[in-house]
Amino acid sequence: MVTKDTSGKYDKYVISSDEMQVSVITLSAAVTDILFKGKHCALGFDSVEDYDDNPGYVGLVVGRYANRIGGAKFTLEGKEYKLVPNEGKNQLHGGPDSWVKRVWQAEVLSDNVVRFSVFAPDGENGFPGNMNASVTYTVTGSTLRLDFEGETDAPTVFAPTTHMYFNPKGGSVLESSMKINASSWLQVDDELIPTGVLMPCEGNFDFSSLRRIAKDYDHCFVLDSQDACTAECGDVKISLKTDLPAMQFYTGTHLGEPFGANGGFAIEPEFYPDSPNHPEWPSPVLRPGEKFRCFAEYIFE
Ligand code: G6D
């Protein structure tokens, strides 16, 4: 069932199955709540107006390029594109006032499916190409599926993600446990820009079997399979499946009020950060005539 609430600044859609209720607002197609087993499993602000000041990108669909692009520039087909930086000299999450500040158009496709669409104009924050992008939310049983789609009228780079945070248990997520199907992670410099080196998942980065998180992470794990990870947070298990090549594991170190540091963890399916500057990595390039399609499924048990 899908219900629509137009009482706030942004329309809110609640997509319900017999096991789960997912709330999404039209600002940035942001997930504001996931109610499962009587627990609010995803972080969300109490009022939709709070999403206007959301430096942690809580719940937002992030793009045109999620994560960082070093030096806020890249070269594509011999042309250098200078982007608008918003984290020192680098660009994070598509730059300042990217589509996360935009009201997306919602379309109810069935009783458990809602699509949110946005137009990203050529030159926005320096990216080439007029883009039509969308995320389609489907709630089936205790699975939330996101289908990302995109088209462009000029060669560009496109790498969306969802920036939901989870913490059904409450307290610090460093007490929760995690298993990640990844043999390597991307080494980064002190600005979190990849050095190009893939490190083996050993020691603190060995999540090959379920274990306590214990410390802070804000790292990209290179996935070995579509079964990206499983987190255990109290009596709720959250698994991510995706056909995207990597996952940012972020333990919410910088989360502000009302959540607080480590008040939630994000498991963001993504292309590698800075991949436009690394032709040796999976390519985020999208060309006219191509249809971008990727998915992420969050399975709750
Ligand atoms: C911090 O470094 C982290 C990012 O990975 C995260 O996406 C952002 O907070 C919200 O900058």
**Residue located nearest, by CA, to atom 9 of ligand 1:** 56
Pocket test for ligand 1, best of 165, 218, 265 (most atoms within 8 A of CB): 218
pLDDT, averaged per 10 consecutive residues of the chain (301 residues), comes to 97 98 98 97 96 97 98 98 98 96 98 98 98 98 98 98 98 98 98 98 98 98 98 98 98 97 98 98 98 98 98
Q: Which residue in 149, 151, 163, 232 is the catalytic one?
A: 163
Answer whether 265 contacts ligand 1 (Cβ < 6 A).
Answer: no
Please tell me the distance from the alpha carbon of residue 32 to that of residue 123, in angstroms, as a whole number: 30
Asked if residue 94 has its Cβ within 6 Å of ligand 1, the reply is: no
Give yes or no: 163 in active site: yes
CATH of the domain at 134: 2.70.98.10
Ligand 1 pocket, residue 56 CB under 6 Å: yes
Residue-level pLDDT at 180: 98
pLDDT of residue 247: 99
Q: Whose CA is nearest to atom 6 of ligand 1?
A: 56
Would you state the pLDDT for residue 277?
Answer: 98
Which residue in 181, 278, 257 sits closest to 221, CA to CA? 181
- The closest alpha carbon to 62, from 40, 34, 31, 90, belongs to 31
Domain that residue 65 falls in: 2-300
Q: Does the C-beta of 250 come closer than 6 Å to ligand 1?
A: yes
Ligand 1, atom 5, residue with closest C-alpha = 218
218 lines ligand 1 (CB under 6 A): yes
Residue to mutate, 58, 67, 92, 93, ligand 1, most ligand atoms under 8 Å from C-beta = 92
Cβ 227 under 6 angstroms from ligand 1 = no
Residues 60/21, Cβ–Cβ less than 8 Å: no
DSSP 3-state assignment of 10?
A: coil
Q: How far is CA 211 from the centre of its chain?
A: 23
Pocket test for ligand 1, best of 164, 250, 268, 274 (most atoms within 8 A of CB): 250
Please name the residue whose Cα sits nearest to atom 10 of ligand 1: 56
- What pLDDT is stored for residue 264 in this prediction? 98
Q: Give the number of domains in the chain.
A: 1
93 CA closest ligand 1 atom index: 7
Q: Which of 178, 169, 180 is nearest to 233 (CA)?
A: 169
Count Cβ atoms within 10 A of the Cβ of residue 114 and give its class: 0-12 exposed, 13-18 middle, 19 or more buried.
Answer: buried
CA of 163 to the centre of ligand 1 (A): 9
Question: Is 268 tagged catalytic?
Answer: yes
Q: What is the pLDDT of residue 13?
A: 98
